[in-house]
Structure formats: structure tokens, C-alpha cells
Amino acid sequence: MDLNITCIPGDGIGPEIVAEAKKVLEKVAAVYGHKMNFTDILMGGASIDVHGVPLTDEAVATAKAADAVLMGSIGGDTTTSPWYKLPPNLRPEAGLLGIRKALNLFANLRPAILYDELAAACPLKEEISRAGFDMLIMRELTGGLYFGERRTVEENGVRKAVDTLVYDENEIRRIAVKGFDIARKRRRKVTSVDKANVLDSSRLWRKVVEEVAADYPDVTLEHMLVDNCAMQLVKDPAQFDVILTENMFGDILSDEASMVTGSIGMLASASLNDTKFGLYEPSHGSAPDIAGKDIANPIATVLSAAMMLRYSFDLDREADAVEAAVKQVLKEGYRTGDIMSPGCKKTGCREMGDLLAARIV
């Protein structure tokens, strides 16, 4: 199978971690009989330095022509980089917003997994962390409160701000379908999170999700109010498989879930459109202070590549092999500095990539 992948190394540690993810993907191709076709494009600060803008039309066209996009990290030091003296629409992060819009990426997936070997880093009680957890938060990315009409006015000498939360049934249905499809690749359970006891938008959300669920009799659906979900994430995270929710709730809950894993350096993410196409990236930032020092943790990017194999190419066996390699390397005690603990063997970014590639079988 030919896999045509556009890569965005980006800024900071981005080029280093993408290089290691490519290394792992090349090993997957060699073992399982595929061909990886990588095309690099510039985005963010790297694009500003060359083209004067964070994202060019040519880069967007190249991304659209691929089967999937693998990205490193975007941005720099906001206090010292000349990029942040530019107008907001010309700063690095504007490129990320631009490509999400251009590629119609409406479904954001953020796994939160607690590996046995990293359980000590989990901030939860030991009796909770001991059970482990493996959840995926699916957040609607292009609608809701963040994209509704907004205004700030002054009425009778009093300032007033208004933000509008709008969803139509088509927006809800397409993210729900993605959620149920992905649940079929996991443990076949969807927890739909809303605020249906208060909000009309949530009542519509719940109704449409139930309509979609009727087409997936093999997937269990439960509803949960967002405030209860926030509590359950720290009380019993092992109960969750796929959490399906709207934009603002997903923004908050995914950050909460990421923190209970103990290390953001391990967290992958994906943003999908209504086809198999997706953009895959680590959840962490560009870490410009450690760029070029061969100490970055490439595992989140490697796990993002595994998500790409699973969701854009339907190569579940290959994705399993990458995830198994990560678990095996951790079991053997290898650690980059950010996840280092006593008694473990410290590695750099390139060595970690070598170790992971060597364990692809």
C-alpha cells in the first residue's frame, strides 16, 4: 500500500520529533510491505522566515493532495521571537488555524492513556491510578460557542458581552458518526457529554446522538452531564472509552484528561474531516528552549503516527505494532528526560526513535 503523507516539521523541536516518527513509519513500511511517500512543507515560524507568511496556498495544496498530514509543532518563544512582533494574522499559530479551516478538520481526537510504567507520575490516588485508563476524547472543533456570533456593547452605561452557542443537527451528526465509528475500533462504548438539563443546544445534541446510536447497536451509549464528567475523570477515569462532546466542553475536558496521565510528552492527537483524511500531531508545544539539543520526547509524535495508520489508512495491525513498541521500550526502562525516573535508562530523541523502530515487528 502506498501511503502519501505530507509532513509539517514546523518549529522548535518539531523537526526532531517528526524525523523520529518518520523513522518508525519507515520501519512499519519495511515490515508490513508498504511504501511511505513523504513530502515536507513549511508552516508556522519556519514558513514566516522563508515566505513571510505562516501558511502559503502552495502548502495547503500539497496537504490537500496527500492522504494524511503529520505535524510536529508550531510557534516559538512569545517573549523573544520576532514572529510575535507581527500582526496576529501573520504569527505562527495563524498557520495552524488556517490549515484546520482549509482542510475542514471538524473532529479532534485526544487519547489519554496511563501506561503502567508511568503510573507513578499520575497525580491521582494510587488506588485509582493502579486501575489504569485508556480513553479518547472526541471534540467537535469548528462549531459551538467559539464560532457563534459575538459582540460587546454598552447599554445604559453598562458594558455587556454576548457569545452565541449554535449547533445544527448536521454538525452534531457528523461528529457523532465519527465517534461511533472510532468506538468500533476500541472498546465499543461512547459517553456523550452535554448540559442537557440547561441548554437547548445540548438537548438537540443528545437527541441527534441517540439517532446516530440507532445505527450502531454494537456500541453502548451513555449520556453524562459535563460537570459530572469533570468529576468522574478524576474519580474513576477507567470507566471511559470514547468521550464525545461539543467544542468548549471538549476543550476543557481534554486538558483535564491530559493532566491525569502525568506527562504531556506522551499525548498524541488527531483532527479529522468527513473523509479518512486527518492531521496528526502531538499535544505538546514547540519547546524552543530545548530545540536542537536531542533531548525532546518523540513518543507523542510517534503515537500520533500510529493514530494516522489506524484512522486514515485503516491499518490497525500496523498501529498496534507501533503502540506495542512504545509499551515495550517503556517496559525496558528507557526514558527521555521529561519522563525520567530513578533506575531508568536515559535516552535522547534520536536514540528513542531508534529503540522504537527496532521493536516494530
- Give the Cα separation of 268 and 137 in Å (integer): 11
**Residue 187 near residue 240, CB atoms below 8 Å:** no
The rounded distance, in Å, linking the Cα atoms of 309 and 217 is: 26
Active site residues: 146, 195, 227, 251, 255
Maximum CA extent, the chain: 71
Phi-psi region of 34 (alpha: psi -120 to 50; beta: other; left: phi over 0): beta
Q: How far apart are the first and last CA of the chain?
A: 18
129, amino acid identity: S
Task: Tell me the C-alpha distance between 285 and 262, whole Å.
Answer: 16
Angle of helix 299-311 relative to helix 316-331, nearest 10 degrees? 160
Residue 127: which of 236, 228, 232, 260 has the closest Cα? 236
List all residues 6 or more positions away from 4 whose beta carbon is below 8 Å from its beta carbon.
37, 39, 65, 66, 67, 68
Residues 6 or more apart whose CB falls under 8 angstroms from that of 133 comprise: 112, 113, 114, 237, 238, 240, 260
Euclidean distance between CA atoms 110 and 258, whole angstroms? 8
* C-alpha cell of residue 203: 438537548
DSSP annotation of 146 reads: G
Q: What residues pair up with 194 in beta bridges, in sequence order?
A: 225
Closest to 351 measured CA to CA, from 28, 16, 117, 38 = 16
Helices (H) and strands (E) in the chain, counts: 12, 14
CA distance 336 to 328: 14
